[in-house]
Structure 1
Amino acid sequence: MNPEPVAPHCRQPSREAGDQRDAAPDGPGSEAERDADARALASTLRLRILRLCLDEALTNREIAERLGKNPATVLHHVRTLVDRDFLRAQPVRRGARGSREVPYRATGRSWTSGAFRGKSRLLIDTFLEEVALTDPDTVEASRLGLRLGAEARDELRSRLHDVLQDFATREPDPNGTPYSVFLAVHEDVSRKVRPHL
């Protein structure tokens, strides 16, 4: 089994009937659709927007404030994510001054989209940006060196994916602490056996 790479957004999407993506001429799983998804997610800022909107619906202004960015810049990214159904607009609400505001919520679709294949550097950069904001004493990290055959490597990847998938599909605890999980399994080229001369 070859599980999809671990994506940074982990709630299963609740797809609505009549989703605009299902009506695309190339079909929802076409190469053109996957390329469009990959382009929409090819930004650490967009990945951070999705993470912010995972547990609560936020307006463009609220997103910009939390990221320390200009609202006009953020709006471009929000619209891109909405166009690809990674963010979904929620019912309009009234702001503090009575203005109409549109909050957005992450759909969780990035977890299952497969758009991160070959994008490990993007995920690493996003992780580094987010973890830089965290108290280092609260980050649990470990490293492990293994030497595995192909079958054992596939088993490791499959079992890790299954654990993450289990937690990804659970309902979030509204009183719980938000956590992020970043996982990477990579070939350790520095430990490759070199032929003796």
Structure 2
Amino acid sequence: MGTHLRPATEAEARALASAIRLRILRLCLDQALTNKEIAGRLGTNPATTLHHVRKLVGTGFLAAQPSRPGPRGSTEIPYRATGKSWEMDVRESGVTGANAAILDAFLEEVRLVDVEEGEFTRLGLRLTAEGHAELLRRLREVLDDFRMRQPAPDGEAYSLFLSLHRDVTRDT
């Protein structure tokens, strides 16, 4: 969404073509978490989670933070999301699956939410190519504005999923 996004490399696009990796990025957005903490929150095997964490670190989507003491004298490394994924377009990479991964991550996360607490809306539109481009540009401006704001220390965490797609049920 938007023309100021840089194209993702093939390695970056492959890293983002995984619902579990997208969920890891979301978990580490506001706070640094260790591999064990990530695995616990996702209900996944720590070894499998570590594979995904390493892929995200290797492509610059997660950054290791200073190590800290862990249980029984161990050392733990927490990881924090860099926000890099917001600034790139994976569509031109030639890697398939990135959009499916975003949808899968959303569906996995929204299943955990009380649907009565969410805000949902749908809108049907008929747009020219220019109208489509304008809508995407204006949405990106609003989303960029909110993304750049300092997080409110007493604020609640929210997620936003936006899908603009052809409505094949209304095509004539």
TM-score, with length taken from structure 2: 0.90
Alignment match, 1:34: 9
Identity %: 56
Q: Match of 1:162?
A: 141
Q: Deviations over 1:35-90 (max 9, x none)?
A: 11011111111000000000000000000110111111100000000000100000
- Within the candidate set 106, 112, 115, 1:133 is matched to 112
**Distance in 2 (alpha carbons) for counterparts of 1:191 and 1:164:** 28
For residue 62 of structure 1, the aligned residue among 37, 40, 44 is 37
Cα deviation for residue 174 of structure 1 reads: 2.1
1:172 aligns with 2:151: yes
- Report the CA distance shift for 1:53/1:184 in structure 2 as closer, same or farther (over 3 A): same
- Structure 2 residue 99 is the aligned partner of structure 1 residue 120: yes
> Do 1:59 and 1:101's aligned partners in 2 also have CA atoms closer than 8 Å?
yes
Bigger Rg over Cα: 1
Decide whether the 8 Å contact of 2:62 with 2:79 is kept in 1.
yes
Q: Secondary structure at the match of 1:79?
A: helix
In structure 1, stretches of 5+ residues that fail to align are 7-28
Aligned to 1:104: 79
Preserved CA contact (<8 Å) 2:61 2:81: yes
Aligned to 1:22: none
- 1:98: Cα distance to partner? 2.8
Q: Which residue number corresponds to residue 2 of structure 2?
A: 3
Query: 8 Å contact 1:88–1:105 — kept in the other structure?
Result: yes
> Could you tell me how far 1:137 is from its partner in structure 2?
1.1
Q: Match for 1:35: what amino acid? A: E
Please name the residue that 1:84 is paired with: 59
| 2:129 is the counterpart of 1:153 | no
The answer (yes or no) to whether the contact 2:22–2:101 under 8 Å persists in 1 is no
| Structure 2 gap ranges (5+) | none
Q: Is the 8 A contact 2:17 2:99 kept in 1?
A: no
Q: Which amino acid aligns with 1:74?
A: T
Equivalent residue letter for 2:76: E
Rounded Cα–Cα distance in structure 1 between residues aligned with 2:49 and 2:24: 9
- Is this contact kept in 2: 1:34–1:114, CA < 8 A? no
2:166 counterpart of 1:187 = yes
For residues 45 and 116 of structure 1, the distance between their equivalents in structure 2, rounded to whole angstroms, comes to 19
- 2:23 maps to 48
Q: Which one is further off, 90-99 or 163-172?
A: 90-99
Q: Could you say what secondary structure the match of 1:126 adopts?
A: helix
Does the residue aligned with 1:97 lie in a helix, a strand or coil?
A: helix
